[in-house]
């Protein structure tokens, strides 16, 4: 069997006396799309931030292709370039155009030729329907457009794995679909992705595996059809019922 691209073993994350992640372990394989679901505040976003070493951990290990991802890693900058992360809040620089936002890290951090990155950025913007927005500023874009720019920015770094942290949570409902369609397209291209979302229909459509996080660990993990139609644990059943409403009377 192929080696996993990402391995998380016995991960422990605490904030003071509160344990958020309690000995959590899993693996991600090349081309796999994993969706992490769970109640608000259960640690889903914290897990993604730990994987990218944006949060210090109190126990366990995170490895990307066998290399330790840690604040103490001498090659942390190089490892982070292989782990693309798209945040809920876009994090675009307001004083820079869309194109300049995308070019910044590949040209400054990776030292790649500007002409090469510009051509790639323009091609990616065209793929997500934003060719005409390259010279505009973030304030001139809708939330959905900003999020698509953030995805293009991540892709331009050529990451081996993409982390999506509730990327539709701040969007109006009509903007959600345009962002989810971009992520679905990435899945069809065989991208390796770890996605945190509350969009259950989207999770069912895109996931190779759904992992349900609660109480600091994974309560249940499995294929989306099984998880959504025949959950194996009472806790997962209770969670899924919160997304189901029946008219009374």
Give the model's pLDDT for residue 244.
65
pLDDT digits (tens, 9 = 90+) for 197-222: 999 999 999 999 999 999 999 999 99
Matching residue, tokens 């344990």:
19
Provide mean pLDDT across the span 74-93: 91
The answer to whether the pTM exceeds 0.85 is: yes
Please name which of 42, 77, 90 lies closest in space to residue 211, comparing C-alpha atoms. Answer: 42
Dihedral sign from CA coordinates of 65, 49, 107, 131: positive
pLDDT digits (tens, 9 = 90+) for 15-59: 999 999 999 999 999 999 999 999 999 999 999 999 999 999 999
Provide mean pLDDT across the span 98-108: 96
Please name which of 220, 200, 197 lies closest in space to residue 44, comparing C-alpha atoms. Answer: 197
Within 68-199, residue ranges assigned H as helices are 76-81, 98-108, 114-127, 143-155, 173-188
- Per-residue pLDDT band for 174 (boundaries 50, 70, 90) equals confident
Report the DSSP beta bridge partners of residue 37: 212
């Amino acid at each position: 069997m192929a080696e996993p691209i990402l391995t998380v073993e016995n991960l422990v994350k605490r904030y003071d006396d509160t344990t958020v992640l309690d000995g959590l372990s899993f693996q991600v394989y090349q081309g796999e799309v994993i969706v992490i679901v769970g109640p608000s505040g259960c640690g889903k976003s914290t897990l993604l931030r730990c994987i990218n070493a944006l949060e210090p951990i109190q126990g366990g290990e995170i490895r990307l292709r066998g290399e330790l991802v840690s604040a103490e890693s001498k090659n942390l900058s190089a490892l982070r370039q292989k782990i693309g992360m798209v945040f809920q809040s876009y994090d675009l620089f307001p004083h820079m155009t869309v194109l300049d936002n995308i070019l910044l890290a590949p040209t400054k951090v990776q030292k790649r030729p500007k002409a090469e990155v510009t051509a790639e950025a323009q091609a990616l913007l065209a793929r997500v329907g934003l060719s005409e927005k390259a010279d505009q500023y973030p304030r001139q874009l809708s939330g959905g457009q900003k999020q698509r720019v953030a995805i293009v920015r991540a892709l331009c770094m050529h990451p081996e794995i993409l982390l999506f942290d509730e990327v539709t949570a701040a969007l109006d409902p009509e903007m959600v679909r345009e962002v989810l369609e971009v992520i679905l397209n990435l899945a069809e291209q065989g991208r390796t992705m770890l996605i945190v979302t509350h969009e259950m229909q989207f999770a069912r459509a895109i996931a190779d595996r759904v992992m349900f996080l609660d109480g600091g660990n994974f309560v249940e993990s499995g294929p989306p059809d099984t998880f959504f139609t025949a959950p194996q644990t009472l806790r997962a059943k209770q969670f899924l019922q919160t997304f189901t409403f029946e008219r009374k009377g």
